[in-house]
């Protein structure tokens, strides 16, 4: 018997457009020591957000850590606005398409994210297309205690949702996350953020 499909989607730059440079630029406005490009390099090389996205730092601990490391002169409200600057706007067409899949597949969200970001994107006003209503379950790294590409995050998804007998397809824009998911045994599709909706539609049509 053919295994049923389960679809798992990343959030940032797959379903929700993001622009990390906007946060680096916003932080740079509060730093006399580092430029936006410096902050980008430091953040990536030292993985400054990883512990927080894995739930290993509180909001206050993360804020203090980043302000100290980047020598920022901002208050808490300014920090959160700058940190959230990377979050752009949902595309209603894409959201409606994802919602339409619910009648055909179990669908899940798996995102490396933080409490500060989640508070914003989960509580935005969605007059016609609240994306998060579409998912059987939403999985956020800071609540799971681990971040992609660690394979233990994929094990949690399988076990928590009893997907052992499913053919799992994972859509993500990060090649390292795709590689680890493939090694774990999932099908995994590398998404181009500029072509996300078309890519997802085209691939899902091939499943039907």
Q: Are both 171 and 99 inside the same structural domain?
A: yes
Asked which of 84, 113, 130 is the last residue of a domain, the reply is 84
**pLDDT score at 74:** 98
Domain identity same for 79 and 47:
yes
Query: Residue 164 belongs to what domain range?
Result: 5-17+89-207
- What's the 3-state SS for the chain? CCCCEEEEECCECCCECECHHHHHHHHHCCECCCCHHHHHHHHHHHCCCHHHHCCCCCHHHHHHHHHHHHCECCCHHHHHHHHHCCECCCCHHHHHHHHHHHHCCCEEEEECCCHHHHHHHCCCCCCCCCHHHHCCEEEEHHHHCCCCCCCHHHHHHHHHHCCCCCEEEEEECCHHHHHHHHHHCCEEEECCHHHHHHHHHHHHHHHC
Same domain assignment for residues 69 and 99: no
Please, what are the averages of pLDDT over each run of 10 residues along the chain (208 residues)? 88 97 98 97 98 98 98 98 96 94 96 97 79 95 98 98 97 98 97 97 91
Q: Which of 47, 69, 84 marks a domain boundary?
A: 84
Six token digits for residue 79: 């920090």
Nearest-angstrom CA–CA distance, 65 and 71 = 10
Q: What angle do helix axes 76-84 and 20-28 make, rounded to 10 degrees? A: 150
**Pair 56, 129 in one domain:** no
At residue 171, what are phi and psi to the nearest 5 degrees?
-115, 120
* Domain match, 50 and 105 both: no
Q: 84, 112, 138: which is the final residue of a domain? A: 84
What's the N-to-C CA distance of the chain in angstroms?
A: 16
Q: What total of structural domains would you count in the chain?
A: 2
Residue 1 is predicted with a pLDDT of 56
Q: Are residues 157 and 76 in the same domain?
A: no
The pLDDT, as a whole number, for residue 169 is 98
pLDDT of residue 96: 93
């Amino acid at each position: 018997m053919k295994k049923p499909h389960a679809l798992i989607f990343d959030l940032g730059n797959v379903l929700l457009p993001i622009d990390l440079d906007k946060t680096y630029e916003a932080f740079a406005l509060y730093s006399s020591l580092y430029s936006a490009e410096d902050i980008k390099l430091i953040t990536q090389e030292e993985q400054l957000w990883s512990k927080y996205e894995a739930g290993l730092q509180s909001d206050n601990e993360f804020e203090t850590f980043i302000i100290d490391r980047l020598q920022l002169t901002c208050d808490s409200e300014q920090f959160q606005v700058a940190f959230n600057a990377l979050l752009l706007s949902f595309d209603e067409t894409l959201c409606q398409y994802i919602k339409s899949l619910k009648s055909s597949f179990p669908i899940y969200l798996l995102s490396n994210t933080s409490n500060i970001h989640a508070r914003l994107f989960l509580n935005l006003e969605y007059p016609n297309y609240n994306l998060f209503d579409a998912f059987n379950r939403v999985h956020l790294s800071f609540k799971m205690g681990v971040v992609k590409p660690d394979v233990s995050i994929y094990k949690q998804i399988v076990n928590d949702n009893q997907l052992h007998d499913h053919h799992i397809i994972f859509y993500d824009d990060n090649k390292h996350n795709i590689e680890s998911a493939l090694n774990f045994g999932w099908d995994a599709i590398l998404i181009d953020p500029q072509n996300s909706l078309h890519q997802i539609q085209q691939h899902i049509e091939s499943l039907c």
